Structure 1
Amino acid sequence: MSVNSDPYIWLEDINNPKVIEWIRFKNMKTKEFLSDYPDRLRPRVMKYYEIPTVRIARLTRKGIYLLINEKLEYRVYRLNNDGSKDLIISSRDLGDNIIIKWIYLNEDGDRLIVSYSKGSDIGYYRLIDPFSNEVLDELYGSLNDFVWIDKDRYYYVRFYRNEKTPDNMDPPAERIFLRSNGYEEMITSITPPTNYLIALSKSIDSSKALLTISHGWSRSWVYAGDLDKPDYWVKIFGDDKHLFYPVNYVNGRYIILAYDGNGLGRIVEIKDNNIRELISEDENFPLKAVETTFDKILALYLVHGSSCLKIFNMDGNLLEVHRFDPPGSVGLIQCIDDTCIFKYETSFIPYRLYLYRDNELRVIDRIEINSEIFGIEEFWVESYDKTPIHVFRIYNRKCDNKKTIIYGYGGFGVSISPVYASYLLTFIEDCGSICIANLRGGGEYGEKWHRAGKRDLKENVFQDFISVVKYMKNLGYDVIIMGSSNGGLLTAVTMIRIPELLNGVLIGYPLTDMLRFHKLYIGRLWIDEYGDPDNPVDREYLLKYSPYHNLKPGVKYPLALIYTGLHDDRVHPGHALKFSAKLDEIGVVNYLRVETESGHSGANPGVKLNELLDILSFIYKVFGLKP
């Protein structure tokens, strides 16, 4: 295929009836291949999948609000001080096949915004009184970062993905709006150019607006000002080379998280135009998130991919260190007044919800699986250039069938830690194992680790992953590789590079055409990470690994399941469709699954279950396991 021609570009038009019919045919072939495996696996998977899981936890002065995946729907609860839960709203109340993507609360807990869609990044935002369930307002679009001034006024950030902003800036771009009693106005003091994004929050005392203006995933600047005076919001920190984020404004000083230096993260304060370092960089491990009360700093570190919480006083003196067993992931950390909450999870623990107050850390809600067969271990693999690559392995303590799934991502500074994966526990019950590789391009070892796997250094990511595959093959394992989004790009490249070492490939919601990604949906935002296909220098290295352009006839590629969502408006489904069509052209059997009720943001739990069952069925088919 000439790089200047694209015989399958017609598959990018997902509204074309010819494309819809082609998808229907490919889905049918996949269903025939999977046979009755999904139905046979369903009861076993449901044992773990129907366990409630906390997706979001938000602290307010009137209780903790939880978004929970439960009974094949999303439900919003209020967790009261006595441990009881009040149901506020469910996804079924909002329509069929609805996913509740996020919830936003004011600090007093009497205003709730529910973000929902059918999997698209574009959706509805319903403002309700969580005590009366009265609907107060509703917005539509791609919105985030709702910040209240008072009960009746709030800011939010709107993302323009296709159309120009009101001030005529080309997309993709973002703008801040002030909403009051159904009317709104754009904030004109903060109007960054195309390809810049805005994050908005406020200080713990509600006096200051705190903003991050970012370009790509390697540069950002901090802006701030009085919350109710947006015309006077100004830049207070940042350069043109590093990442900086506002943490809080406490007792007359701004607290900033800075990824300059070695890129591992340090905390500085700004007071009366003077800058002072509060907490210096760790020598080895990155600082991933920071929150504060009025007198404590809660700093979340990542130690070889596992979360570790350190608590400091406001002068930067270390008070406490909390590690979590087994190794896992801490997130959703949030503080109001003197209280903080966060969620912990790992591969076989759905969640623990922690509360920190009065120098005490305690679990206030939890669901854990009572099983002695699941275990986590860690090991290291040497990459092609001697760089050590850290790997988690989730396994069955009582048996090992020498079949493993290797998962990777390696991009955008995203750190991959063990999280609850309900549907894969069935595979581990049957003596399989799952390896999670912490590759360059991620954030597991700071910003330098990220930059070592982006743009023209992307090859490091592929070689890191290939090294893990070779390591497991040398130990006698059969291997299926798995990744989604940027990880789907990774598995597609790996399939082409080392087909002889793989038993199967799972390519989820992928990028595969690296010469056109910037022309599809919001792909222009990713130029900073991948490079610009319109730049001859960048195009040269992109072409070397672009999966769509590197498939070759006559090669015995492993069996692949390529899966995407028709409503994925982040990574265009055309990437998956075209890659499957190209495999068909060169005579390589492959299976394509296109979910018609989901997108990149996900699907409702019932629809998602069907996708996960098909993925697991593919694994069982390829490995020759009985469901």
Structure 2
Amino acid sequence: MIISKFNQILESTKLVSNNYFSACTYAALVFLLIACTEDNATSNTSANTAESVKYPEIDYSYPLFGKTLNNKYQWLEDNDSEATQEWLEIQEQNNLEYFDSKEFQQLKIKLAAKTNVSFPFVAKKNYFYYLIRLNRVSNKNSWQFSLYNKITHELSNTDLDIPQDKEIVAMSLSNSGRFVGILESQAKNFQWRLFDTFTNSFRSISLPVTSDKTQLSWVDDTQFIFTSNNSILRADVFGVNQKTLFNLEEHLKETELITQWKALDATLIFGNTQLFVSSENLSSSEKRFWVINGLGKSAETSAILFSSKAELELVGSSDNNLYFLTDLAASRNRIISIDLNKPQRRYWKEVIAQTSGVLIDARYLGNQWLLLYRDNGQSELFLSKQYGKNKVQIGSTPPYSEIHFTKSNLSNVKGKALLSEKPLLTIEALNQAARPIEIKDNNLTPIFSNGDFSDNFKSNLADYAHQLSFYRSEDSSRIPISLLAKESIAKDKPVLLIANQGFGMLDDYHYSAFLEAFLAYGGTLAIAHIRSGGTYGKNWHKSATGNKKNKAIEDLLAAQNWLLDKNYTSSGRLAVLGDHYNSSIIAQAINNRESKFSAALLIDGYFNLVEYSQTKPLQKTWQDEYGEVSNKNSLDQLLTIDPFSNINNKAYPALFVFSQSHLNDNMQYLAKIQNHTKNNLPLIFSTNHVELLPEALYFLKNQLKIKP
């Protein structure tokens, strides 16, 4: 009855136009009709299914490169309009009905009782370990500063006053160990604060809030260098004697705009007497490098030392040489050295050659290298001599874990390496939050040698069954896929498929309470190492970017078919999870007629790629990934993979869409699905971050019929 009356209004109304105010007014009238007729609707149709309500489709057309595009859900762009508020109220009512169960409340209680402790940042001074500790209970975080005495095994904790909407994303320890720089993040803004370990409190000095993640490095016990978007400054813990060492704007050409450049990156080198500075042009991907000689009153900046479009990450310094991890002429990365006296390209030398694994990080230790690789998705750590000789593997890690080096000044003193001992590391896995470790006798050893942390670390990291297999994509390319299960890899299980983020990124093995719980329920996690990610380096990434982005979608659908053909699951027990960037790939995959997913979870995704490409100042990395929309041909290409544009009348799986940062895009996407799906399955929209974990887990259990 609602649907038929709504269609009558669509045919008779003359309000439809490109006028945005008229569109919103019209949408509000339609919702008024829906509200007035809801009581007459049949009661056996649940409010959270597609048949309950149909939403307005209002012409909003605009020209783009000779084509006329029409977004009939543009009225949801205005958050304050009556129509948008009405739509949100309906979604909220849907959620109340869907999650109104005793089982959901029990799940919330169970998750709320679980405390997860991680140590994402660690530094060392003598036999003291300085750590940032994160306690997470039911999506609520509390942060502490921890000091661990390796000799007495005492661990002290001091609460840090960090609001719930902030998180700590970096730390930097002063030379004496008294002061700790702590970088806080809030709504894409960043600010360094200085914590005094003697008084166990933050100092009152106020450092600037920036829009980019910045750096802070210590020159001595009280003086430090920090970056502030386009400047590098020297300051002290007393808040006096602040001095600007470098201003990017002064080193650009007259025709170049400061807004085209990324925030500066700065690293202390050569006994903390010099500073290596770099920045990248967002439009051209050109990277420029400078050296600041002397950090006092007489600091001098070199002319542009060199520039390159290749990736160059500083990983060490010795004598007059800088060492870089690079993809220059090496799709899986290698290490080269650059002599500051002869920085021209023809003098660059290879130090560590490319191998079969992807080199993702390295540290120079004076006479040897610590090398971190990913090979077929698994982390591998090696020690080697200067030119990669006598390589020895250090310990072993589970295939679903990742290792991170602690940040340190890549410096030396009087020609000798500052790092006389191996750097600290952190390791985390899908079922284990970050733990600090160190290298002893060529083995990975937990820093904590007593208490729950040591026992928990040792027992949990290796208790998943793992299987690496390969399948063929549509073009016959061989794609690796990892299967994880709590006890054994078995057939006919509920399966959750995930993939990388694209942009050449490696597969994410960060701890996930959601995935840990899913595996504990007996599910199987399938990680498809699809093209556009960084599994096999730059060439693997480039093979599914730009006008070849559809290859990533083909890889995902081929993974789905392989899981079904091999009987690891059935179509009624197969779900897919998209998070942020890869949500667009997954959303387009479920538009495909070949999609057999029964449920999909899409977290903070990008769905209207065409409009996003026109309304946001895109970086070149985004344009390279999805294609630069600059003419009709490139627009046609993007339209073929645009999830929003390709929503069609088909049976869509049950959907759980969560949004925080791309609210309007996500609302329009789900509203269009709600109007077009032929299935009578739940279509959930949530913005409640606190309830995200229990809601997503309950949704997955419900749709895949998982019994704990």
Pick the TM interval, shorter chain: 0.7 to 0.9
For 1:509-520, list aligned pairs within 5 A.
509-519=604-614
Partner of 1:187: 247
Provide the C-alpha distance between the structure 2 equivalents of 1:353 and 1:16, rounded to a whole number of angstroms: 50
Cα deviation for residue 341 of structure 1 reads 1.0
Cα deviation for residue 351 of structure 1 reads 4.2
Cα deviation for residue 527 of structure 1 reads 2.3
Query: What is the letter of the counterpart of residue 221 of structure 1?
Result: K
Cα deviation for residue 312 of structure 1 reads 2.2
Provide the C-alpha distance between the structure 1 equivalents of 2:368 and 2:220, rounded to a whole number of angstroms: 26
Identify if the C-alpha distance between structure 1 residues 504 and 318 changes in structure 2 by more than 3 Å, giving closer, same or farther. same
Q: Is 2:680 the counterpart of 1:595?
A: no
For 1:529-540, list aligned pairs within 5 A.
529-540=625-636
* 3-state SS, counterpart of residue 94 of structure 1: coil
Of the three residues 362, 381, 386, the one matched with 1:290 is: 362
Partner of 2:646: 550
Of the three residues 457, 472, 475, the one matched with 1:368 is: 457
Partner of 1:353: 436
Identify if the C-alpha distance between structure 1 residues 220 and 287 changes in structure 2 by more than 3 Å, giving closer, same or farther. farther
Identity %: 17
Partner of 2:484: 394
Partner of 1:486: 581
TM-score (norm 2): 0.76
Query: What is the letter of the counterpart of residue 575 of structure 2?
Result: I
Q: Is 2:499 the counterpart of 1:408?
A: yes
Cα deviation for residue 368 of structure 1 reads 2.9
Identify if the C-alpha distance between structure 1 residues 254 and 519 changes in structure 2 by more than 3 Å, giving closer, same or farther. same
Partner of 2:13: none
Q: Is 2:127 the counterpart of 1:55?
A: no
Query: What is the letter of the counterpart of residue 489 of structure 1?
Result: S
| Contact 1:404–1:435 (8 Å) recurs in 2 | yes
Cα deviation for residue 501 of structure 1 reads 0.7
| Contact 1:60–1:106 (8 Å) recurs in 2 | no
Partner of 1:163: none
Provide the C-alpha distance between the structure 1 equivalents of 2:542 and 2:617, rounded to a whole number of angstroms: 21
Provide the C-alpha distance between the structure 2 equivalents of 1:401 and 1:579, rounded to a whole number of angstroms: 32
Please identify, of 505-514 and 99-108, the stretch whose mean Cα deviation from structure 2 is larger: 99-108
| Contact 2:359–2:374 (8 Å) recurs in 1 | yes
- Whichever structure has more strand as a proportion of its residues is 1
* 3-state SS, counterpart of residue 550 of structure 1: coil
CA deviation map 1:155-182 (0-9, x unaligned):
43445xxxxxxxxxxxxxx554555626
Identify if the C-alpha distance between structure 1 residues 619 and 498 changes in structure 2 by more than 3 Å, giving closer, same or farther. farther
CA deviation map 1:84-112 (0-9, x unaligned):
3332443xx23344433333333443332
Provide the C-alpha distance between the structure 2 equivalents of 1:9 and 1:195, rounded to a whole number of angstroms: 30
Query: What is the letter of the counterpart of residue 341 of structure 1?
Result: L
Provide the C-alpha distance between the structure 1 equivalents of 2:549 and 2:284, rounded to a whole number of angstroms: 15
Partner of 1:121: 188
Partner of 1:246: 314
Q: Is 2:348 the counterpart of 1:275?
A: yes
Cα deviation for residue 470 of structure 1 reads 0.8
CA deviation map 1:546-585 (0-9, x unaligned):
1111111x211111111111xx2xxx33221221122233
Partner of 1:171: none
Alignment root-mean-square deviation, CA:
3.1
Partner of 1:30: 95
Partner of 2:673: 583
Identify if the C-alpha distance between structure 1 residues 520 and 46 changes in structure 2 by more than 3 Å, giving closer, same or farther. farther
Q: Is 2:472 the counterpart of 1:382?
A: yes
Provide the C-alpha distance between the structure 2 equivalents of 1:61 and 1:360, rounded to a whole number of angstroms: 20
For 1:127-276, list aligned pairs within 5 A.
127-132=194-199, 133-138=201-206, 139-142=208-211, 143-159=213-229, 174-179=230-235, 181=239, 185=244, 187-188=247-248, 189=250, 193-197=258-262, 198-203=264-269, 205-215=271-281, 219=285, 221=287, 223-226=289-292, 228=294, 231-240=300-309, 242-271=310-339, 272-273=341-342, 274-276=347-349
Of the three residues 377, 395, 399, the one matched with 1:305 is: 377
Please identify, of 180-189 and 406-415, the stretch whose mean Cα deviation from structure 2 is larger: 180-189
Identify if the C-alpha distance between structure 1 residues 17 and 338 changes in structure 2 by more than 3 Å, giving closer, same or farther. farther
Q: Is 2:92 the counterpart of 1:11?
A: no
Provide the C-alpha distance between the structure 2 equivalents of 1:246 and 1:202, rounded to a whole number of angstroms: 11
CA deviation map 1:255-283 (0-9, x unaligned):
1112122311111112331432111111x
| Contact 2:395–2:443 (8 Å) recurs in 1 | no
Of the three residues 540, 548, 568, the one matched with 1:449 is: 540
Query: What is the letter of the counterpart of residue 653 of structure 2?
Result: P
* 3-state SS, counterpart of residue 549 of structure 1: coil
Cα deviation for residue 43 of structure 1 reads 4.7
Provide the C-alpha distance between the structure 2 equivalents of 1:416 and 1:218, rounded to a whole number of angstroms: 27
Provide the C-alpha distance between the structure 1 equivalents of 2:594 and 2:525, rounded to a whole number of angstroms: 20
TM-score (norm 1): 0.85
Partner of 1:41: 107
Cα deviation for residue 440 of structure 1 reads 1.1
| Contact 1:243–1:259 (8 Å) recurs in 2 | yes
| Contact 1:291–1:334 (8 Å) recurs in 2 | no
Provide the C-alpha distance between the structure 2 equivalents of 1:57 and 1:24, rounded to a whole number of angstroms: 45
Cα deviation for residue 543 of structure 1 reads 0.9
Structure 2, unaligned stretches of length 5 or more? 1-58, 62-67, 409-417, 449-453
Identify if the C-alpha distance between structure 1 residues 249 and 502 changes in structure 2 by more than 3 Å, giving closer, same or farther. same
Which fold has the larger relative contact order, with Cα–Cα distance below 8 Å and residues 6 or more apart in sequence? 1
Provide the C-alpha distance between the structure 1 equivalents of 2:226 and 2:362, rounded to a whole number of angstroms: 22
Query: What is the letter of the counterpart of residue 55 of structure 1?
Result: P
CA deviation map 1:69-96 (0-9, x unaligned):
3153233323333343332443xx2334
Provide the C-alpha distance between the structure 1 equivalents of 2:645 and 2:628, rounded to a whole number of angstroms: 16
Structure 1, unaligned stretches of length 5 or more? 160-173, 599-606
| Contact 1:518–1:524 (8 Å) recurs in 2 | no
Query: What is the letter of the counterpart of residue 420 of structure 1?
Result: Y
Please identify, of 17-26 and 64-73, the stretch whose mean Cα deviation from structure 2 is larger: 17-26
Query: What is the letter of the counterpart of residue 495 of structure 1?
Result: I
Q: Is 2:134 the counterpart of 1:69?
A: yes
Partner of 1:104: 172
Provide the C-alpha distance between the structure 1 equivalents of 2:112 and 2:429, rounded to a whole number of angstroms: 18
Cα deviation for residue 435 of structure 1 reads 0.8
CA deviation map 1:527-552 (0-9, x unaligned):
23222234433322111111111111
Provide the C-alpha distance between the structure 1 equivalents of 2:559 and 2:96, rounded to a whole number of angstroms: 31
Provide the C-alpha distance between the structure 2 equivalents of 1:258 and 1:231, rounded to a whole number of angstroms: 27
Partner of 1:433: 524
Of the three residues 440, 455, 458, the one matched with 2:549 is: 458
| Contact 2:283–2:619 (8 Å) recurs in 1 | no
Cα deviation for residue 353 of structure 1 reads 2.4
Query: What is the letter of the counterpart of residue 338 of structure 1?
Result: S
| Contact 1:220–1:243 (8 Å) recurs in 2 | no
Identify if the C-alpha distance between structure 1 residues 87 and 529 changes in structure 2 by more than 3 Å, giving closer, same or farther. same
Query: What is the letter of the counterpart of residue 23 of structure 1?
Result: L
Please identify, of 31-40 and 440-449, the stretch whose mean Cα deviation from structure 2 is larger: 31-40
Identify if the C-alpha distance between structure 1 residues 136 and 316 changes in structure 2 by more than 3 Å, giving closer, same or farther. farther
Partner of 1:601: none
Identify if the C-alpha distance between structure 1 residues 124 and 223 changes in structure 2 by more than 3 Å, giving closer, same or farther. closer
| Contact 2:217–2:268 (8 Å) recurs in 1 | yes
Identify if the C-alpha distance between structure 1 residues 413 and 16 changes in structure 2 by more than 3 Å, giving closer, same or farther. farther
| Contact 1:310–1:318 (8 Å) recurs in 2 | no
Partner of 2:21: none
CA deviation map 1:11-33 (0-9, x unaligned):
34556676456435423423422
Cα deviation for residue 400 of structure 1 reads 5.6
Of the three residues 455, 458, 469, the one matched with 2:560 is: 469
| Contact 1:247–1:257 (8 Å) recurs in 2 | yes
